[in-house]
Chain A
Amino acid sequence: NAGVTQTPKFRVLKTGQSMTLLCAQDMNHEYMYWYRQDPGMGLRLIHYSVGEGTTAKGEVPDGYNVSRLKKQNFLLGLESAAPSQTSVYFCASSYPFRGVHQETQYFGPGTRLLVL
């Protein structure tokens, strides 16, 4: 099993350009998440999905859109990139919450994005 994979690993964009980050998981997880990680800010949730065809906003959703057309894939889109979106983006997946058991979130290796 590859676990959670992310494409691309690194990208440089100019302000105003668009791009899509792809996350794929082969663990048959229902839940998927997109985070960004910035120095001094920790990991912050951008958007998440609790199942195929569903998405919801997290803590910092502005400037991003997501889609979950297939259970194994979760796409993060930047329609018009801004320098403030320079960050490391992590995708994660997990099984649904099961009462007293907080399911482990499995993280991908990250995508480093630089917006000039």
Chain B
Amino acid sequence: QKEVEQDPGPLSVPEGAIVSLNCTYSNSAFQYFMWYRQYSRKGPELLMYTYSSGNKEDGRFTAQVDKSSKYISLFIRDSQPSDSATYLCAMSAGSTGGGNKLTFGTGTQLKVEL
């Protein structure tokens, strides 16, 4: 079983829809949670970052972490065609001096249709 599980999709939604993307994990040591966005043939770029449990909002994006359920979510409101990309969740237990090693999900491919 992988440490981080993510539905690969593809997920297709109409423009303006609310999108929900999710990951589950098994390592209870994870306390840093990130969402990266990756456009086709590009490198991943950090979208949202959350420490421990709770919610974080940034414009149309909201990240939620439920450590008790080992479940994280990314919500995209008023989705736009420009949001079409692969969304990767990533997690870390943190490290002092040993590299900020991340464990990634496999990514969910999202397509927002006009």
List residues of A whose CB falls within 8 A of some B CB: 4, 31, 33, 40-45, 48-50, 56, 58, 90, 92, 94, 96-97, 99-110
Interface SS of chain B: loop
Q: Does B94 lie at the interface of the complex (its beta carbon under 8 Å from any beta carbon of A)? A: yes
- CB neighbours of B98 from chain A (8 A): 50, 56
Distance (whole angstroms) from the CB of A10 to the closest CB of chain B: 10
Contact A41 B106 (CB under 8 A): yes
Q: In whole angstroms, how far apart are the Cα atoms of A97 and B93 in the complex? A: 11
When the two chains form the complex, which single residue of B6, B97, B102, B106 contacts A105, counting CB atoms closer than 8 Å? Answer: B102
Give B contacts to A, CB under 8 Å: 4, 6, 8, 32, 34, 41-46, 49, 51, 88, 90, 92, 94-102, 104-107
Instruction: Given A40-B106, A97-B95, answer yes or no on A110-B43 (Cβ-Cβ < 8 Å).
Output: yes
Chain A residue with the shortest CB-CB distance to B106 = A42
CA distance A100 to B93 in the complex (A): 11
Q: How far is the CB of A48 from chain B (nearest CB, A)?
A: 5
A residues in contact with B97, CB < 8 Å: 50, 96-97
| Contact (Cβ within 8 A) B41 A110 | yes
